[in-house]
Amino acid sequence: MSIEPTKYYDNFLKYFKLAEKQQRDCNLGFIPHQEWDGGDDLMCQVELYDVVERKYAGFSQLVNDVFYGYNEEHPYWQKMQKGMMSPQRNALSRAWKDKQSVFGLPEWLYVFMVHRLTGSAINYAQKPSGYHNTIVPHFYLDNTIEEMTTRITNGKHEPFYTSIGYQFPAFPKPPEGSEYKRNGDYFMVEHVPKMVRELAEWLEQGNKREIREIGEWLFDWNVKHGFRKFKFQYAAFISDIADWFPQYVVRESMFYYGTNAVECIKYMAKPTTRMNKEKFMDEVMEMVYKDTGSVPYNAEDVMCDSIRWIENYIRPGEMYDHLDFNKVWGTSNVIDHPTGRQKMMLNLGLVEDFNEFKSFPSDTKVLDMNNMTVDEYKEKVNQYLS
Q: Could you read off the pLDDT of 148-206 as tens digits, one per residue?
A: 999 999 876 677 887 766 678 899 999 998 999 899 999 999 999 999 999 999 999 98
Contact 196/145 with Cβ under 8 angstroms?
yes
- One domain, residues 358 and 216: no
Residue 93 domain-assigned? yes
Mean pLDDT over 105-133 rounds to 91
Q: What percent of the chain has pLDDT over 70?
A: 98
Residue 246 domain-assigned? yes
- The pTM of the full predicted model, rounded to 2 decimals, is 0.94
Residue 112 domain-assigned? yes
Contact 60/346 with Cβ under 8 angstroms?
no
Sequence-ordered list of residues with C-beta below 8 angstroms from that of 368, at least 6 positions apart, any chain: none
Residue 19 domain-assigned? no
Query: HSE (CB half, 13 Å, CA atoms) of 51?
Result: 19
- One domain, residues 276 and 205: yes
Helix (H) or strand (E) holding 209: strand 209-210
What pLDDT does residue 4 have?
97
What pLDDT does residue 309 have?
98
- One domain, residues 358 and 268: no
- One domain, residues 58 and 181: yes
Q: Which amino acid is at 22?
A: Q
Nearest Cα to 214, choosing from 187, 245, 193? 245
What pLDDT does residue 334 have?
97
Average pLDDT over all residues of the chain: 95
pLDDT in tens, 338-365: 999 999 999 999 999 999 999 999 999 9
- One domain, residues 248 and 375: no
What pLDDT does residue 74 have?
98
Task: Judge residue 131's burial from the number of C-beta atoms within 10 Å of its C-beta, 0-12 exposed, 13-18 middle, 19 or more buried.
Answer: buried
Calpha distance 386→383 (Å, rounded): 5
Residue 58 domain-assigned? yes
Q: Which of 310, 329, 361 is the last residue of a domain?
A: 310
pLDDT band at 128, cuts 50/70/90?
confident
Contact 191/225 with Cβ under 8 angstroms?
yes
Residues in the chain: 386
Calpha distance 204→227 (Å, rounded): 25
pLDDT in tens, 286-315: 999 999 999 999 999 999 999 999 999 998
Q: Which of 261, 293, 310 is the last residue of a domain?
A: 310
- One domain, residues 259 and 375: no
What pLDDT does residue 157 have?
67
What pLDDT does residue 163 have?
72
- One domain, residues 104 and 190: yes
Using the predicted structure, report yes or no on whether residue 107 has a pLDDT greater than 90: yes
- One domain, residues 270 and 357: no
Nearest Cα to 287, choosing from 306, 307, 265? 265
Q: What is the DSSP letter of 333?
A: S
- One domain, residues 258 and 349: no
In this structure, the dihedral spanned by the alpha carbons of residues 309, 314, 315 and 317, taken in order and rounded to 10 degrees, is: 160
What pLDDT does residue 154 have?
87
What pLDDT does residue 316 have?
84
Residue 37 domain-assigned? no
pLDDT in tens, 38-69: 999 999 999 999 999 999 999 999 999 999 99
**Distance (Å) of CA 320 to CA 90, 333, 355:** 24, 24, 11
What pLDDT does residue 164 have?
66
Using the predicted structure, report yes or no on whether residue 73 has a pLDDT greater than 90: yes
- One domain, residues 61 and 197: yes
The domain tally of the chain equals 2
Residue 271 domain-assigned? yes
Mean pLDDT over 316-332 rounds to 92
Helix (H) or strand (E) holding 77: helix 77-81
What range does the domain containing 226 cover?
3-10+54-310
Residue 326 domain-assigned? no
